[in-house]
């Protein structure tokens, strides 16, 4: 499963990219606002840090303007993936951009039928928001399972990009189901490294090593 960082903080992205485990980045208007920087400035910098897909979101609601926004954003770099909403205008834009071989991430997906439509429109990625479904007492990971089944039934090439991840368990469940990508906030990605027994074991090893009086260097 690929790991994308869900952030527009270039400092966080550089730190995660240094691990060699980062496959891409997703942004949205809220994350751009949180960064306190200009949209194009942030996206251009992110594209110099990661080689993988970098999702940049359109904000128009009508097809004509959305398409123009997507075309303009795509010129930032060849690894820009245009984010469009799961609407009629969004899927029309998706189909048009894909005809020009521009990557498209269809976002704000909350049902398997929406995911089916996105795949038929040729989306590169579909972004189901599992955390937001959990917030309204629906099982977000059940949706991921349904999408995986449907896509496998028809050999759709659209990749399932699990979004709105709230905890490490979401990442584990997405991997079990067979999602293609998880887009993860930096804080949660760092939690994946940690386990109390790892810390305890390391502490014991270092304590014993100190008693030997030796040095590797």
DSSP secondary structure letters along 88-110? HHHHHHHHHHHHTT-EEEEEEE-
Q: What is the CA radius of gyration of the chain?
A: 20
Predicted confidence at residue 166, as pLDDT, reads 97
pLDDT at 139: 97
User: What is the Cα–Cα distance from 17 to 50, expressed in whole angstroms?
Assistant: 7
- Please check whether residue 146 lies inside any domain of the structure: yes
The pLDDT value given to residue 129: 98
Tell me the angle at which helices 140-154 and 168-177 cross, rounded to the nearest 10 degrees.
Answer: 20
Q: Give strand pairing partners of 5.
A: 25, 184
Q: What is the pLDDT of residue 125?
A: 99
The number of folded domains in the chain is 1
Cβ pair 107, 28 in contact under 8 A: yes
Q: Is residue 217 part of a domain?
A: no
Whole-number pLDDT of residue 72: 98
**What is the CATH classification number for the domain harbouring 58?**
3.20.20.70
Domain that holds residue 156: 2-212
Residue 120 falls within a domain, yes or no?
yes
Which residue in the block uniquely carries the two structure tokens 């906030």? 185
186 within domain boundaries: yes
pLDDT recorded at residue 34: 95
pLDDT for 188 equals 97
192, containing H or E segment: none
Return d(Cα 31, Cα 20) in angstroms, integer: 23
pLDDT at 206: 96
Catalytic residues: 83
Task: Write out the two tokens for 209.
Answer: 């090593």
Tell me, what's the pLDDT at 130?
98
- Does residue 203 belong to any structural domain of this protein? yes
Q: Is residue 110 part of a domain?
A: yes
pLDDT the model gives residue 211? 95
Q: Is 145 among the domain residues?
A: yes
Residue 169 lies in a domain: yes
Whether residue 124 contacts residue 89, with contact meaning beta carbons closer than 8 Å, is answered with no
Query: What is the reported pLDDT for 201?
Result: 97
Which segments in the chain show pLDDT lower than 70?
none
């Amino acid at each position: 499963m690929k790991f994308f960082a869900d952030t527009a903080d270039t400092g966080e992205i550089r730190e995660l990219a240094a691990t060699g485990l980062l496959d891409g980045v997703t942004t949205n208007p809220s994350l751009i606002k949180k960064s306190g920087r200009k949209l194009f400035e942030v996206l251009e910098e992110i594209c110099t840090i990661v080689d993988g897909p970098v999702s940049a979101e359109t904000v128009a609601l009508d097809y004509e303007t959305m398409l123009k926004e997507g075309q303009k954003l795509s010129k930032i770099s060849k690894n820009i993936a245009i984010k469009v909403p799961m609407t009629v205008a969004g899927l029309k834009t998706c189909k048009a951009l894909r005809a020009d071989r521009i990557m498209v991430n269809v976002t704000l997906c909350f049902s398997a039928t929406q995911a089916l439509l996105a795949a038929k429109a040729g989306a590169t990625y579909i972004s189901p928001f599992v955390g937001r479904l959990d917030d309204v007492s629906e099982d977000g990971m059940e949706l991921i399972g349904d999408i995986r089944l449907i896509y496998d039934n028809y050999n759709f090439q659209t990749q399932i990009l699990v979004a709105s991840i709230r905890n490490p368990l979401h990442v584990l469940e997405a991997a079990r189901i067979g999602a293609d990508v998880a887009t993860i906030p930096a804080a949660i990605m760092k939690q994946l490294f940690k386990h109390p027994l790892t810390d305890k074991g390391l502490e014991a090893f270092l304590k014993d090593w100190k008693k030997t009086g030796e040095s590797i260097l």
